[in-house]
Chain A
Amino acid sequence: MSQKKYGIVLDAKNCLNCKACTVACKFENGVEVGDEQYRIWVAEKDLKGTYPNLRLDFEPSQCQHCENTPCASVCPTSATYKTDEGVVLIDYKKCIICKACMTACPYDARFVSEVHHAIEKCTFCYHRLPEGREPACVETCPTKVRVFGDLNDPNSKAAKLLAKHDTYQLKPEKNTRPRLFYIIK
């Protein structure tokens, strides 16, 4: 069993909503152009206030690589599985597209891939990790909003950020225990 625990710490206040990450993801992972074909996204939060007192925030996100993994729990063929490092992956050849995982995911992180004819989602660019390369979204970001790393390694940048800052997670009430942490302050 690996001691590694991969995760991403995000400093969304630095996000410019430039979509570099979403386009990078599409090329790196061969995701087709298409309204529903996306692994990651940058959502504009609702505009707060009225002219001229306004506030606008952005929230980049993707598969949360939950420790308590509803998508894997409902997958009848074990096509969705978790690696030792806690990365949630899909074995395309086992996927029967029953879409149970899509309904089970509280983050709408999954979609039917027109390329693989299977359910697809963010893999933390698992194929890059052995080469020591960061996920494409992390690497390409102008302001490096996402910081990827081994949360079990106290010397990793991600672990240090996590130790230093208050963070929030998406939908904690679902008890999915996501591996994505958003810095509050």
Chain B
Amino acid sequence: MSAHDTETKQGMVSAIKSLITFNKDIPVMPLIIIGLVLAGIGAVTAVVVLVKGHEAMYAVNREVPWGMLIGTYAYFVITSTGLAFIGGLGHAFGFENFAKIGRRIVVLATLVLLAGFTQILMELGHPVRMIIWMMLSPNFAAPILWMGVFYSIELVILALELYYAFKAHPTEKDHKTAAMLGFAAMVVGTLATSNLGFVFGSLTARPWLYGVHFPLFLVVSGITAGAALLMLVHNIAYKFSIPEEYKPSMDALAKLMGGGIGIMMLMYLWKFLTSIFTQPIGSYESAMALIAGPLAANFWIGEMLLAVIIPLVILLTAKGSTKKYGIAGLIFMIGLYFTRVNYIVAGQMPVMRKATDGSGVHADLSGLGIYSPSIAEWGIFLLGIGVAMVLYFSAEKFLDLKTPEHH
């Protein structure tokens, strides 16, 4: 090993060392431990699933092939691109309030995206084959191919953003690069999210999923989720007492989130009206499954109450309380999980063939497909949540996520 190499290596080590801090005042150790426990449960589940096979362990079935794991995957990766979008607003469009929390945004976006990848890895039957054959024999017409492309690029952009966010002495050029990267993350992220919407929106067989609604809804709800999650993690990092300097950022996020929920409500209104008015085949059954069918509890309590009404009411009555913003963020993030899974499952519930004798189709008495997540699917969900918690709160604990002043 040459002296030069050694020097370089030492330089890198010291650079990394300089990044590592130990933030005594950030109270996340219990959350890291909880995350570790959840991830541990998830890891054990994952091993069992890999040994016994997906078919034996997951409750997804011939009628409802996509279930909780796809929902969880979407929950994470769309939140990630929502975060990247907000980051981009800060870096590329000079929204100072978001730039002020830029480091946290990019770290959160990256780690949430990684957590999302655990879900797709455990959902796909052959994730390794995917990498090989998407390159060797890609089908450029397939939305899932583009999903892979966009999220890969997004991950690279986020990695670069991370680099610049943590660069010790950023130059003016670095700031420009960061701004460009922020813009790229916004564009690619939005494409990735809306394309993920198109994975469902392209399905002519499934009228509820088919169409323009989902790509747009995902973009809007993703940005809303980004805002909600940022308010939540700031509250956690600052023990629900966010310093005054971040108050404007939190106010901006609250407005963004409130506005997001508003647009979501508008989209809900027309999605449901178009799906119920004169009972169009397929989407009507899906809508009714949500409103008054097997998904009604998830829909009304999870999706409507937790992801729309309560957060909106809290935000409207918060009177600038950042603590309430955090609570609204937390409740929204819980509710949004139902939103994600509900939508996907509801779209598959109207069976493709009537479940008569001999059809082979399994359906409930009302003729809808049957799906309720298995223990293993819950386990993999915990893996995702656990990984996200461990990664992010470790970052809070061991990295300095406070964005340095650079102006």
* A adjacent to B, CB under 8 Å: yes
B interface footprint on A74-86 (CB within 8 Å = 1, 0 otherwise): 1111110000000
A75 touches B139 (CB 8 A): yes
CB distance from B217 to the nearest CB of A (A): 18
A78 touches B126 (CB 8 A): no
B204 touches A43 (CB 8 A): no
CB < 8 Å: which of A41, A61, A74, A106 contacts B142? A74
**Does chain A have a CB within 8 A of B243?**
no
CB < 8 Å: which of A17, A36, A70 contacts B205? A70
Contacts of B60 in A (CB 8 A): 99
Contacts of B55 in A (CB 8 A): 112, 114
CB < 8 Å: which of B54, B66, B147 contacts A103? B66
A46 touches B353 (CB 8 A): no
Within 8 A of A (CB), among B47-62: 53-55, 60-62
Q: How far does the alpha carbon of A43 sit from the alpha carbon of B354 in the complex, in Å?
A: 9
A174 touches B205 (CB 8 A): yes
Within 8 A of B (CB), among A17-59: 17, 19, 35-36, 38, 41-46, 58
Query: Which residue of chain B lies nearest to A68 when distances are taken between CB atoms in the complex?
Result: B204
CB < 8 Å: which of A58, A73, A76, A93 contacts B358? A58
Contacts of B126 in A (CB 8 A): 95-97, 117-118
Q: How far does the alpha carbon of A41 sit from the alpha carbon of B209 in the complex, in Å?
A: 26
**Does chain A have a CB within 8 A of B40?**
no
Q: How far does the alpha carbon of A128 sit from the alpha carbon of B145 in the complex, in Å?
A: 33
CB < 8 Å: which of A79, A102, A117 contacts B65? A102
Within 8 A of A (CB), among B35-86: 53-55, 60-63, 65-66
CB distance from A15 to the nearest CB of B (A): 10
Q: How far does the alpha carbon of A149 sit from the alpha carbon of B199 in the complex, in Å?
A: 35
Q: What number of A residues sit within 8 Å (CB to CB) of B?
A: 44
Contacts of A100 in B (CB 8 A): 142-144, 199
Contacts of A161 in B (CB 8 A): none
Tell which of A43, A44, A96 has the most Cβ of chain B within 10 Å: A96
**Does chain B have a CB within 8 A of A126?**
no
Contacts of A67 in B (CB 8 A): none
Contacts of A175 in B (CB 8 A): 204
B62 touches A102 (CB 8 A): yes
A interface footprint on B116-134 (CB within 8 Å = 1, 0 otherwise): 0000000111110110011
Q: How far does the alpha carbon of A76 sit from the alpha carbon of B195 in the complex, in Å?
A: 13
Query: Which residue of chain A lies nearest to B143 when distances are taken between CB atoms in the complex?
Result: A74
Contacts of A38 in B (CB 8 A): 360
B205 touches A96 (CB 8 A): no
SS class, residues of chain B in contact with chain A:
loop
Total inter-chain residue pairs, C-beta < 8 Å: 142
CB < 8 Å: which of A36, A94, A104, A174 contacts B137? A94
Given A43-B359, A74-B202, A100-B144, A112 contacting B137 (CB threshold 8 A): no
A interface footprint on B352-395 (CB within 8 Å = 1, 0 otherwise): 11101111111000000000000000000000000000000000
**Does chain A have a CB within 8 A of B141?**
yes
A43 touches B143 (CB 8 A): no
**Does chain B have a CB within 8 A of A108?**
yes
B interface footprint on A101-142 (CB within 8 Å = 1, 0 otherwise): 011111110011010011000000000000000000000000
CB < 8 Å: which of B124, B141, B348, B358 contacts A98? B124
CB < 8 Å: which of B66, B138, B358 contacts A99? B66
Q: How far does the alpha carbon of A97 sit from the alpha carbon of B353 in the complex, in Å?
A: 22
Contacts of B248 in A (CB 8 A): none
CB distance from A86 to the nearest CB of B (A): 18
B348 touches A70 (CB 8 A): no
A98 touches B351 (CB 8 A): no
Given A35-B360, A73-B142, A103 contacting B348 (CB threshold 8 A): yes
**Does chain A have a CB within 8 A of B292?**
no
Contacts of A35 in B (CB 8 A): 360, 362
| Known A35-B360, A96-B133, A118-B126; further 11 A-B contacts with Cβ < 8 A | A36-B61, A46-B354, A73-B142, A74-B142, A76-B139, A78-B137, A97-B124, A103-B65, A103-B203, A112-B55, A114-B55
Top 7 A-B residue pairs of the complex, sorted by shortest distance between their CB atoms: A97-B125, A77-B133, A43-B359, A108-B352, A106-B205, A76-B144, A99-B65
**Which A positions have Cβ atoms within 8 angstroms of B?**
17, 19, 35-36, 38, 41-46, 58, 61, 70, 72-79, 93-100, 102-108, 111-112, 114, 117-118, 174-175
**Which B positions have Cβ atoms within 8 angstroms of A?**
53-55, 60-63, 65-66, 123-127, 129-130, 133-134, 137-139, 141-145, 147-148, 199-200, 202-206, 209, 348, 351-354, 356-362
